[in-house]
């Protein structure tokens, strides 16, 4: 392998790291889950081109949001122990404007791909997909990163609305039926999951956040108060996760059955148990353990939706 090829591959790897792939993998999966669930419920075949446009638009949009928030946060990332090794503070991407430009290109690609859904489905579906991508970008970059993150301890609540965009895009890529019931419920699963996920992380790294004066709720509150906030958000999440079981189609048919219900109950009981552990012992180890379970928990819910809707 030539030195030039090694440098090229290394550059690709650094820009890939900049996009925070672990985050957008999960968001793309929620879009995939929403689309497959809608396809199963309404027995609508999804064209390969629609799959590609939908999944790549969500991937590009999520990667763009992560890249542009990394660009904005490069000053505090350079101070925090957890983040100082990221591509921008470590100057593996320099000057930083390269990252900004890369993020803007990704954002443009995501909007174009989302609107491209119009050519494989309908103009209405493509337009809504574009609206949801645009909303997600604005909410994550402008509302959360630029306005709320450094100014409000409840930043992740309003700033987490963007998390609901991928499932909505997945749903509209299949059709518009029951978008504002089941589609919204699936988006709500991600939106309500985000505070539990982020607050568990920030409790574990609270010293880092306090060092840079970022007022994440579980970093600035006492450990007991933070633990209660995490437990409260977990209970809300678990209760909301039951909602899809009660939804029906416009014809009155149930959308989801017992497989999803019992999966939501069993996985929710585990999450509540872990959050109780955080209340009893509000320490870094308990918070980190809860955080590690949050992403698999969300994935399990979407897998259960796909499996149940297929039965």
Q: For the whole model, what pTM was predicted?
A: 0.94
| Residues listed for the chain | 311
pLDDT band at 37 (very low <50, low <70, confident <90, very high): very high
Query: Is residue 180 predicted with pLDDT exceeding 90?
Result: yes
Mean pLDDT of 1-22: 77
Mean pLDDT of the chain: 93
Alpha carbons 269 and 282: distance in angstroms, whole number = 19
At 3 the pLDDT is 47
- Name the pLDDT band for 2 (thresholds 50, 70, 90): low
212 burial (CB, 10 Å; 0-12 / 13-18 / 19+) is middle
Predicted local distance difference test score (pLDDT) of residue 7: 57
What is the CATH topology of the domain spanning 10-310?
Tetracycline Repressor; domain 2 (1.10.357)
| Structure-block tokens of residue 115 | 């609107």
pLDDT band at 107 (very low <50, low <70, confident <90, very high): very high
Kindly state the greatest CA–CA separation across the chain: 64
Q: How far apart are CA 113 and CA 51, in angstroms?
A: 11
Question: pLDDT by residue (tens digit) across 243-295?
Answer: 999 999 888 889 999 999 999 999 999 999 999 988 887 666 788 888 899 99
176 to 123, 156, 236: CA distances (angstroms): 11, 29, 27
pLDDT at 111: 98
Least confident of 72-81, 160-169, 285-294: 285-294
pLDDT computed for residue 4 by the predictor: 52
């Amino acid at each position: 392998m030539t030195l030039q090829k090694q440098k090229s591959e290394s550059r690709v790897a650094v820009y890939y790291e900049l996009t925070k792939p672990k985050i957008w993998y999960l968001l793309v999966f929620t879009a995939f889950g929403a689309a497959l669930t809608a396809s199963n419920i309404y027995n609508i075949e999804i064209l390969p081109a629609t799959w590609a446009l939908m999944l790549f638009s969500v991937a590009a949009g999520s990667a763009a949001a992560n890249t542009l928030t990394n660009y904005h946060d490069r000053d505090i990332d350079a101070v925090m122990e957890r983040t100082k090794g990221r591509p921008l503070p470590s100057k593996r991407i320099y000057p930083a404007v390269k990252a900004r430009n890369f993020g803007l290109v990704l954002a443009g690609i995501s909007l174009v791909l989302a609107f491209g859904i119009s050519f494989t489905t309908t103009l209405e579906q493509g337009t809504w997909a574009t609206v949801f991508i645009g909303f997600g970008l604005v909410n994550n970059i402008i509302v959360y990163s630029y306005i709320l993150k450094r100014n409000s301890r409840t930043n992740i609540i309003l700033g987490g609305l963007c998390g609901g965009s991928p499932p909505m895009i997945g749903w509209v890529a299949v059709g518009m039926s029951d978008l504002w019931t089941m589609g919204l419920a699936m988006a709500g699963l991600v939106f309500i999951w985000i505070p539990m996920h982020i607050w568990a992380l920030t409790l574990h790294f609270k010293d880092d956040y306090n060092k840079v004066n970022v007022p994440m709720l579980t970093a600035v509150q006492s450990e007991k108060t933070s633990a209660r906030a995490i437990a409260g958000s977990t209970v809300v999440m678990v209760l909301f996760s039951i909602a899809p079981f009660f939804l029906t189609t416009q014809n009155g048919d149930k959308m989801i059955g017992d497989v999803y219900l019992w999966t939501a109950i069993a996985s929710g009981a585990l999450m509540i148990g872990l959050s109780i552990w955080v209340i009893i012992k509000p320490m870094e180890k308990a918070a980190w353990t809860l955080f590690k379970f949050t992403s698999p928990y969300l994935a399990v819910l979407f897998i259960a939706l796909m499996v149940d809707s297929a039965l």
